[in-house]
Structure 1
Amino acid sequence: MSWNLLLWLLALCALLALVVQLVCFLRADGDLTLLWAEWQGRRPEWELTDMVVWVTGASSGIGEELAYQLSKLGVSLVLSARRVHELERVKRRCLENGNLKGKDILILPLDLTNRSSHEMATKAVLQEFGKIDILVNNGGVSQRSLCVDTSVDVYKELIEVNYLGTVSLTKCVLPHMIERKQGKIVTVTSLLGVVCAPLSAGYCASKHALQGFFNTLRIELATYPGIIVSNICPGPVQSNIVKNALTEEVTKTTGSDADQSHKMTVSRCVQLMLISMANDLKEVWIADQPFLLMAYLWQYMPTWAWWITNKLGKKRIENFKNGVDADSSYFKIWKTKYQ
C-alpha cells in the first residue's frame, strides 16, 4: 500500500468520524462530558446508595422527579418546599414506588425567603439523620415578562428566592460538610445562567448570580477535595415552572397551560442529573437541541450567538404576546427535522 493511499484512507476515516460526531451532537440532550459519563462513567446506583440527600423545591417539577428516582436508590431523603400537602403527596408516591420506608423520608417545610429559618432547618436534618451527604438546591421561581413592563419588586423576589435563599441554605449546610471534609452541593441553575433570553431578565440575572457564587465557592473549597460543588444547567423541561412564573407584578403568574410536548421530559433531565452527581461533574448542560447548540455557541462563538439570539428572541417575544409557549416554534421545527 502506497503512502498516498494510506493518507487518503486516514483522511476519509477522520471525515467519517467527524460526520458521526456531528450527527450524534444534533441528537444530543446533554453536553459531551456528561454524555461520556453516561456511557463510560460511574452509575448512580453504585455511588449514591445510603446517602442522605436534601432536596429543595421537592413538591413539583425537577425536585419531585428527583425524589422519585432517588427513592429507588436506597438513599435517605429530606424533602423541602413551602407546600406541605404536596410534599406529603410526593412522600407517599416515593414509598409506593421506591425502596424506602417511612423513617427514611423527612418532610421539612421550608421557605427560601425566610432566611432566619435555614439554620434551624439544617439542625433538624442533622438531628434526624446525623449527616447531610448531598444538598440539592433546586427551589426557585421563573419569570415571563418584558423588562420595560416589569416591576422592580419582581426582580427583588427572584433574587430573594433563587439567589439569596439558595446561598443562605448552602452557608448553613457548608460548616457540617467542612467538618466532615466531604459532601456534594448540587445547585440547579439553568441554561439561562450560561446564555440569555428575552422575557427572563430577572430570572437570568438570578441564575448568573448563582453560577458566579458557586464557581467561586468551588475554588475556595479547593483544600477540601471531598466537597464537590456542581452546577446543573437544564434547558426547558416539561414542568409547571412556566405556569408558576412571575410576570409584571409579584402577585401575578402566567398560569399558562401551553403544550410542552416539544420540551425535554423531566424524567430524562433527572436521569442525567444523577449521572452528574455520581461522577462529580462540576458543571453540566442538559437540554434538547437547539438550546444545547446555543450554549456551545455562547461559550465558543459569542458573536454568532448574539446574532442568532437576536433572531430567535424576536420570535420568542412574538410567541409570548400571542399567548403560546415562548419556545414552541423553533423547538417544533427542530424536532421535525432531526428527531
Structure 2
Amino acid sequence: MTWELLLWLLALCALLLPVVQLVRFVRADGDLTLLWAEWQGRRPEWELTDMVVWVTGASSGIGEELAFQLSKLGVSLVLSARRVPELERVKRRCLENGNLKEKDILVLPLDLTDRSSHEVATKTVLQEFGKIDILVNNGGRSQRSLAQDANMDVFKELIELNYLGTVSLTKSVLPHMMERKQGKIVVINSLSGIASVPLSSGYCASKHALRGFFNSLQTELTEYPGITICNIYPGPVQSDIVKNALTEDIAKPLINSGDQHYKMAADRCVQLMLIAMANDLKDVWISDQPFLSVAYVWQYMPTWALWLTCKLGKKRIKNFKSGMDADLYFSKWKTKHE
C-alpha cells in the first residue's frame, strides 16, 4: 500500500466518521457515553449481583420495572412507597419471575414527605440486610397545570416530595456509605431537570434543584472515591407519572393523562439505567428522539432552546386548555415516523 493510498483512506475515514456518528445519534435512545457503555462496558449481571438495593417509588412505573429487572440479578431488594398493597404486588411479581426468595425482599412503606421517618427506615434496612450498596431515589410526582393557576400548596408538595424528601433520605443513608467508603446513590431525575417546559413549572423547579444538590454533593465526596452519584435524566417513559400528576389544586385529579404509545417503554429505560449503574456513569440521558435532541440543545444552546420551547409550548398549552393530551402533537409525530 502506497502512502498516497493510505492518506486517501484516512481522509475517507475522517469524512465517514461524522456521518456514522450522526446516524447513531438519530437512532439513539440515550447519550453516546451511555450507549458506548452498553456496547463495551461492564454488564449489570457482573457488577450488581449480591448487592442490597433500596428503591423508592417502587410501587409502579420505572420503580416497579427496576425492581423486577433487579430481581433477576440476584440482589437483595428494599421496596419503598406509600401504597403497601402495590408494593406487595411488586414483591409477588419479583418472586414469581425473578431469582429471589422471600427473605431477599423487604417491603418498607415510606412517605418521602415525612422526613422524620427516614432515619428509622434506614436503620430498619441495615438491621435486615446489614448494608445498603445502592440507594435509588425514584419517588416523586409530576405536574400538569399553568403556573398562574396553581396554588402554592402544589409547589410546596412538589418541593417537599421530589426534592426535600430525596435529599433527606440520601442524608440518612450517606453516613453508612461514608463509613464503608463505598456505595452508589442513583437519582432518577428527568429531562425536565435539564430543560424547562410549560405546564410543569413546579416539577421542573424540583428537578433542577436535585441536579444542583447532587452535583454539589459529588464535589464534597472527593475523599470517598468509592461513593458514586449517578444522575439519570429520563425523557417521557410509559408509566403512571402523568396520570398521577398534580394539577392546579392538590385535591384535583388530572382528567386526561394522554396516550402512552409514543413514549419509551419502561423496560428499555430500566435496561439502560442498569448499564449506567454498573459502569458508575455520572450524568445519563435516556430518551427517544426528538426529546434527546431537545436535551442537547438545552444543555449547549440554552438561548435558542428557550426560543424553540416557547414556540412548541404554545401548542402544548393549547391542547391542555382544550382538555386534550398536552403532548398530543408528539404522539402524532411518533406515529408518522413509525
The TM-score bracket by the shorter chain reads over 0.9
Tell me the distance in 1 between the aligned counterparts of 2:32 and 2:82: 36
* Residues 181-209 of structure 1: CA deviation (Å, up to 9, x unaligned): 00000011111001110000000000000
- Segment drifting more, 61-70 vs 13-22: 13-22
Tell me the distance in 1 between the aligned counterparts of 2:21 and 2:137: 33
TM-score norm. by structure 1 comes to: 0.96
Tell me the distance in 1 between the aligned counterparts of 2:13 and 2:77: 49
Q: Per the alignment, do residues 233 and 301 of structure 1 end up closer, same or farther by CA in structure 2, a change over 3 Å counting? A: same
Equivalent in the alignment of 1:100: 100
Tell me the distance in 1 between the aligned counterparts of 2:181 and 2:243: 40
Shift of 1:256: 3.0
Asked if structure 2 preserves the Cα contact closer than 8 Å seen for 1:53 and 1:132, the reply is yes
Tell me the distance in 2 between the aligned counterparts of 1:267 and 1:239: 11
Asked if structure 1 preserves the Cα contact closer than 8 Å seen for 2:53 and 2:75, the reply is yes
1:316 matches 2:316? yes
Equivalent in the alignment of 1:54: 54
1:15 matches 2:15? yes
Asked if structure 2 preserves the Cα contact closer than 8 Å seen for 1:151 and 1:249, the reply is yes
Tell me the distance in 2 between the aligned counterparts of 1:288 and 1:3: 43
Equivalent in the alignment of 2:286: 286
Q: Per the alignment, do residues 244 and 225 of structure 1 end up closer, same or farther by CA in structure 2, a change over 3 Å counting? A: same
* Residues 104-135 of structure 1: CA deviation (Å, up to 9, x unaligned): 00000000011101100000000000000000
SS in 2 for 1:260: coil
Equivalent in the alignment of 2:197: 197
Tell me the distance in 2 between the aligned counterparts of 1:8 and 1:332: 45
Equivalent in the alignment of 1:122: 122
* Residues 226-285 of structure 1: CA deviation (Å, up to 9, x unaligned): 001111100110011001000001111214342210000011111100000000001100
Tell me the distance in 1 between the aligned counterparts of 2:331 and 2:116: 42
Percent identity over the alignment is 77
* Residues 91-113 of structure 1: CA deviation (Å, up to 9, x unaligned): 00100000000000000000001
Shift of 1:323: 2.8
Question: How many residue pairs were aligned?
Answer: 338
Matching residue's letter, 2:83:
R
Matching residue's letter, 2:88:
E
Asked if structure 1 preserves the Cα contact closer than 8 Å seen for 2:55 and 2:63, the reply is yes
Equivalent in the alignment of 2:73: 73
TM-score norm. by structure 2 comes to: 0.96
* Residues 119-160 of structure 1: CA deviation (Å, up to 9, x unaligned): 000000000000000000000010000011110110000000
Matching residue's letter, 2:178:
I
Equivalent in the alignment of 2:174: 174
Tell me the distance in 1 between the aligned counterparts of 2:8 and 2:335: 36
Shift of 1:77: 0.2
* Residues 66-108 of structure 1: CA deviation (Å, up to 9, x unaligned): 0000000000000000000000000001000000000000000
Asked if structure 1 preserves the Cα contact closer than 8 Å seen for 2:262 and 2:334, the reply is no
Tell me the distance in 1 between the aligned counterparts of 2:312 and 2:207: 21
Equivalent in the alignment of 1:146: 146
Asked if structure 2 preserves the Cα contact closer than 8 Å seen for 1:242 and 1:256, the reply is no
Q: Which runs of 5 or more structure 2 residues have no equivalent in the other structure?
A: none
1:83 matches 2:83? yes
- Segment drifting more, 245-254 vs 71-80: 245-254
Equivalent in the alignment of 1:34: 34
Asked if structure 2 preserves the Cα contact closer than 8 Å seen for 1:52 and 1:75, the reply is yes
Equivalent in the alignment of 1:25: 25
Q: Which runs of 5 or more structure 1 residues have no equivalent in the other structure?
A: none
Equivalent in the alignment of 2:298: 298
Shift of 1:298: 1.2
Equivalent in the alignment of 1:270: 270
Tell me the distance in 1 between the aligned counterparts of 2:315 and 2:180: 50
Matching residue's letter, 2:133:
D
Asked if structure 2 preserves the Cα contact closer than 8 Å seen for 1:83 and 1:109, the reply is yes
Aligned 1:218-297 pairs, distance under 5 A: 218-297=218-297
* Residues 4-52 of structure 1: CA deviation (Å, up to 9, x unaligned): 7765554433232222211111111100110000000000000000000
Asked if structure 2 preserves the Cα contact closer than 8 Å seen for 1:290 and 1:331, the reply is no
